[in-house]
Every structure is written in structure tokens, then in C-alpha cells.
Structure 1
Amino acid sequence: MEIIQMRFETSAAKASQFINDEFPQVVITGKSNVGKSSLINAIGNNGKLARTSSTPGKTRLINYFFADNSFYVVDLPGYGFAKAPKTEQAQWQALMDSYFKSGRAKKALMLVDIRHKPTAEDKMMRDYLAYYDFEVVVVATKADKIAKTKLKQYVEDIRKELELPKEMLIIPYSSLNNYNRDYLVQIIREFAAEPILV
């Protein structure tokens, strides 16, 4: 089993707290409760790396994990927390704008729930990543909830709803049975090894 050696490094609530050293950064983003924390725990083979929560939008910070002593996995706060106060939503927007504008990362795993149609917030994040010229791999989480014979159709439904090009990877994934886990580890390492083109 492929494992990324990871440790929690720090959290950032504002731009002045962002990490700006020489190491590459690979972003993990997705709607609240889509499974970002579970993915981070799985690729690091450590159930305590990232906190999982049943409360959508629990994480309001950008969390940095130092990986393989050579790059960062950056967990962006979950989006789609409709019940959050407007001020909190505005803070999220400002934090995202600051991070994306910093140019520290250009590679991202965008997580969506394979069981449901992508939301308006998913489409907004797609647009964010496209605007800032990110190379993106879409991870369709909770794949264990779908029969394997139907995975391909669900993947194509996501591609159609998000209007993604044919060449963009959409990878079904399950943190429950680690389906495609090693493949995602490989992709993250490849992302980290590629230089950022400015």
C-alpha cells in the first residue's frame, strides 16, 4: 500500500498565516462533508491526521499537512454551508480569494459526492479553479455506495453536469474500502513533482 508520510503543520485563518516557503502545495477542496478529511487520513494511513465531522462546514481554516518532507497537502475549508451566517460565508470567500491569488498552488483534487448531482457551489469551485489556471483531478467520493457496474455512468453524469473536458480525470474513490486510494497517492505525488508555470 502506498503511503504519503504526513504530519499536520499549521492552520491559516488569514493571508498573513499562509505558508510561503519553497515547497509545492497540492490543494484538496470540496463541499462540506464530501470526505476531504477521510481522504487525507487514508492517504496518510493515519485516522487522526485530519478531523472528520458530521457537522457541515466545521472546518473554517486552511489546514496544511507536510507530506514526504517535500510538499504540502492543503485542505481548504469546505463549501456549501448554507446555514452558516452571511458574515461567515463572506469570511470563507475572502479567505479563498486570498489563497488563490497568492499563486502558491496550481494543482488540485476537487472532491464531489458521486451519489448526487454537482451543486451550484461545486460549479462555483470549478470556475474558481479554472480562473486561477489550476490543473484539476475530480475525485468522486463515496463510490462504495454505487454498484461497480454503474460507476462509469455516474462518472460521466458528473462530467456532463460540470461541463468538464473529456481529458479531465474523474476518479471514483471510497475511503471505506480504499478503492483507488493508491492511484490518488500517485497523482498527488506527480502533482507535487511538477513545477508551477507562472
Structure 2
Amino acid sequence: MSNPLQGAQFVLAAHRISQLPADQGAEVAFAGRSNAGKSSALNTLTNHKGLARTSKTPGRTQQMVAFSLPPQRGVSASPESDLRLIDLPGYGYAKVPLDMREHWKQEIDAYLHQRRSLRGLVLIVDIRHPLKEFDRLMLQFCFDTQLPCHVLLTKADKISRGHGAQALVALRKQFADESLSATAQVFSSSAGTGVEEARQAVMALLAKPREGAHQGRER
């Protein structure tokens, strides 16, 4: 099966949302704690090993990075070819200076509230750990604003398949118990687990029109 995310290209890295590409078309943002495997997931999904920077030192992504995607059939964007992935700064790495962490907290909040081309969020969560405060905040935000969210439970190769299935069931139960509407799947960049499913989830988000609170949440 062909990869609809093949051909993604680096566009720019922005320190503020005002520096991002024009707010038109459709984009999906990737968010997650700095050691959850976000860059590896982006590289695997796009089949481009060098697209997003990966490092043994977490927290290197300290800007919002925009990647363009080739035109896709069935995706309502205006213009049709204006499709993007946005890599949000990794959050929660202790060695990032406090003022930098506060800056990115404000910028991510502004991005999520103001960016009208945003169609959905892919939240990267390490399958070996329970949801952290950042994860919960992002999920609650998506629910409150009706912004679709898809969770990738990454690093599934680090545990057994049975434990991975149990973690997914537990997370989905947690969503139901807390009245959250996010979807979730098991994922591994190194083992290729769930890659095709994740690609289709990203494409479904890009094709989804704005609706509900997300359509008009200007400040």
C-alpha cells in the first residue's frame, strides 16, 4: 500500500506562531513529552529517516517545525495542496530552562486556540507509563474544544504484545470513564507496529472539516 505521507518536506522552524506558514489549508499537530518518541514516529510515518531530528538527548525540538505534504485526493484544503504536519516542542524535559518551558507553554496554548487550519492532534505517549499531566491537559483541551485527538502508544516493542494490548484496553477504558473522546492505538517505530493504522488516522484527521468549538475559538 502506498504511503500518503511520503514526500513530506521540511518548511521552517518557528519560535512563535506568527512565524508559521499561512493559516490556510489543513494541518495535523504532533505533541508529546520530550522522551516519548515523537521524532521517531514522524520519521517512520513519513518514511523519511531524517525528517524530524532524533537524539539520545531528549528535548532538542524547541521550536514548532512545519513539514509540507504532497497534494492528497479527498482532503478538503484551500488550496488543495496546502497540507502540513506540525511538530510541536517536546514538553517536560527538566534540563530545558524554566523561561524556555514557560515560553513554549504559552506558544502551544496560543497555537491550539488560534490556529484555524488545525484539524487534529496526534498525542505521543510512552506505552510503558501512565498518562502524565501534560498528556491529560492535551486530552482535556481536545475534548473541550472538539478537536479530534489520536493517541499513539509508542515504544510497544519494549513490552510484550499481551501487555501492549492490555495497556490499550486500559487507556480506552480510562477515556470512557473520564468522558474523553480520543482514539488510541499501539505503535512502535522500530518494529513497525501500527504504522499503517497511524498513517490512515493522520489522513482522516487532515480530511476532517473544522466543527464545533474549534471552528471559532479566536481570542
**Fold shared, TM-score > 0.5 on shorter chain:** yes
Residue 143 of structure 1, aligned match among 152, 156, 161: 156
| Aligned residue type for 2:122 | L
| 2:192 corresponding residue in structure 1 | 178
Mark the runs of 5 or more structure 1 residues left unpaired by the alignment. none
Could you list the per-position Cα deviations for residues 11-38 of structure 1 after superposition, in whole angstroms to 9, with x for gaps in the alignment?
1111220222432011111110211111
| Aligned residue type for 2:115 | G
Could you list the per-position Cα deviations for residues 137-166 of structure 1 after superposition, in whole angstroms to 9, with x for gaps in the alignment?
111000111211222211133345665548
Q: Which range moves more in the overlay, 97-106 or 40-49? A: 97-106
| 1:78 corresponding residue in structure 2 | 90
TM-score (norm 2): 0.83
Could you list the per-position Cα deviations for residues 105-151 of structure 1 after superposition, in whole angstroms to 9, with x for gaps in the alignment?
13111110001111122222223333433101111000111211222
Deviation (angstroms), 1:172:
0.3
SS in 2 for 1:138: strand
| Aligned residue type for 2:145 | Y
Summarize the alignment of residues 151-166 of structure 1 with structure 2, pairs less than 5 Å apart.
Answer: 151-159=164-172, 165=179
Could you list the per-position Cα deviations for residues 49-88 of structure 1 after superposition, in whole angstroms to 9, with x for gaps in the alignment?
1110222221111111111233101111111123322211
In structure 1, distance between residues paired with 2:180 and 2:63: 33
Could you list the per-position Cα deviations for residues 160-195 of structure 1 after superposition, in whole angstroms to 9, with x for gaps in the alignment?
566554863210000001111011111111111121
TM-score (norm 1): 0.91
In structure 2, distance between residues paired with 1:186 and 1:179: 14
How many residues align? The count is 198
CA RMSD of aligned residues (A): 1.9
Contact (CA 8 Å) 1:33, 1:54: kept in 2 or not?
A: no
Q: Which range moves more in the overlay, 121-130 or 185-194? A: 121-130
Residue 113 of structure 1, aligned match among 114, 123, 126: 126
Contact (CA 8 Å) 1:114, 1:158: kept in 2 or not?
A: no
| 2:55 corresponding residue in structure 1 | 53
Note closer, same or farther for the CA distance 1:75–1:172 as it changes in structure 2 (3 Å cut): same
Mark the runs of 5 or more structure 2 residues left unpaired by the alignment. 72-80
| 1:101 corresponding residue in structure 2 | 113
SS in 1 for 2:141: helix
| 2:32 corresponding residue in structure 1 | 30
SS in 1 for 2:62: coil
